[in-house]
Amino acid sequence: MLYWLLKTFVASPLMLTVFRPWVRGAEHVPESGAVIFASNHLSFVDSIFLPLALERRISFLAKSDYFTGKGAKGWLTRLFFTATGQLSIDRSGGKASEASLATGLSVLGRGEQLGIYPEGTRSPDGRLYRGRTGVARMILEGHVPVVPVAMIDTEKVMKTGTKIPKVRRVGIVFGAPLDFSRFDGMEGDRFILRSITDEIMYELASLSGQEYSDVYASSVKEKRVGLSR
């Protein structure tokens, strides 16, 4: 209920009037059934603008840190992420990864929409980075199509580390659904998972026009932190 109240009476009137997002490829969005939206990730506001372009509710997998903050700020952050359809996941690997997979599959099992950022984190410089194979495994185990989504210029609205957004138009481009049913039953093959993930990232690069870098965004961020010390 909170999701729809926030979207209908707060996010939609504000975002659609002030930022006037444009949408291309809306005909590729399924009207019903489970589907994964695999998106590039340029800004915090990606998870706000994408739901506005969809009629049905979408849930995102978000790192658990957003749900564990203390005090009033932590409570407000937790409330916001819960209200916008974010699902807490632990990214520490191992059993945590299995739990994250189960969380996503439960959404798909209900015939709902799930949003995933294959890069695993926001781009540090606007480039598109190597995707993590968790999205491929979820596609195969969930037996669902995946729609590639390119967020355009959202980093110009709110760069990482900033708190006040700048007013400018952004875009959302939906690509044609990708069908990987030919790989059914092969979710345990890491080469297949990598192939699927790379195909998704290729589509995202084509849709977004971003320069592609075949390294993980998290590695780039860690290196920058190390150099700044």
Which CATH number belongs to the domain containing residue 74 in this structure? Answer: 3.40.1130.10
Residue with tokens 């989504």: 149
pLDDT > 70 fraction of the chain, expressed in percent and rounded: 80
For residue 143, what are the domain limits? Answer: 22-228
Structure tokens at 41: 């990730």
Q: What is the mean pLDDT of the segment spanning 57-82?
A: 72
Q: From CA 11, how far away is CA 87, in angstroms rounded?
A: 19
Q: Amino acid identity, residue 185?
A: G
> What pTM did the predictor assign?
0.86
Q: Does residue 179 lie within any of the structural domains?
A: yes
Q: Does residue 10 lie within any of the structural domains?
A: no
Q: Which residue has the higher pLDDT, 21 or 67?
A: 21
Kindly indicate the confidence band of residue 17, based on its pLDDT and cuts at 50, 70 and 90. confident
Report how many domains make up the chain: 1
Q: Does residue 11 lie within any of the structural domains?
A: no
Question: Which residues have CB under 8 Å from 160's CB, separation 6+?
Answer: 43, 44, 122, 124
Q: From CA 185, how far away is CA 182, in angstroms rounded?
A: 9
Q: Does residue 6 lie within any of the structural domains?
A: no
Q: From CA 40, how far away is CA 126, in angstroms rounded?
A: 10
Q: Does residue 12 lie within any of the structural domains?
A: no
Q: Does residue 15 lie within any of the structural domains?
A: no
Kindly indicate the confidence band of residue 103, based on its pLDDT and cuts at 50, 70 and 90. confident
Q: Does residue 7 lie within any of the structural domains?
A: no
Q: Is the pLDDT of residue 85 over 80?
A: no
Most confident of 22-26, 117-121, 158-162: 22-26
